[in-house]
Amino acid sequence: MRSLILGIGSDILWVERLRRSLRRFGPGYLEEVFSFEELEASPPFGDAAEFYARAFCAKEACAKALGTGIADDVDWYDIQVIQRPGTTLLVLHEGALRHLLSMVPNGSDFTIHVDIGSRKGLAFAFVVIEIL
């Protein structure tokens, strides 16, 4: 069976930029971008700014792979990032899911590949949406 790449997106962010925003705006800054479930999943140890910078990049990269960016139809909350040791998952909701389903041919399946990381003060993400 053949597959088709539907979209590709990437993003990179200086972790310090997110850290400064957290100092300036406090927890409300994160609440604008992340769902309650994502905020509850913050790391039990390590650098929270790095954790959220990776997730922010994953949301941006996914929105780029969808071809929409973050806009009226695709909101920050529509892309959920689940970071677990060794794996990251993206779960689409509402506008993001509706947009993706409108792009996928009837009867086709899709998968979303995501790779995130952080190193030397940078967070990054790469997303590929594949039709199976």
Please give the structure tokens belonging to residue 18.
């997110």
Question: Buried (b) or exposed (e) across 106-129, using 16+ Cβ within 10 A?
Answer: eeeebebebebebeeebbbbbbbb
Q: Name the residue ranges covered by the structural domains of the chain.
A: 4-131
Question: pLDDT tens digits for 48-76?
Answer: 899 999 999 999 999 999 999 999 899 99
Q: In terms of C-beta density within 10 A (0-12 exposed, 13-18 middle, 19 or more buried), how is residue 28 classed? A: exposed
Closest CA to 88 of 131, 56, 47: 56
Whether pTM exceeds 0.85: yes
**Is 60 marked as a binding-site residue?**
yes
* 1 pLDDT tier (thresholds 50, 70, 90): low
pLDDT of 108 above 80: yes
Write the DSSP symbol of residue 110: E
3-state secondary structure of 4: strand
CATH superfamily of 4-131: 4'-phosphopantetheinyl transferase domain (3.90.470.20)
**Is 11 marked as a binding-site residue?**
yes
How much is the pLDDT for 45?
66
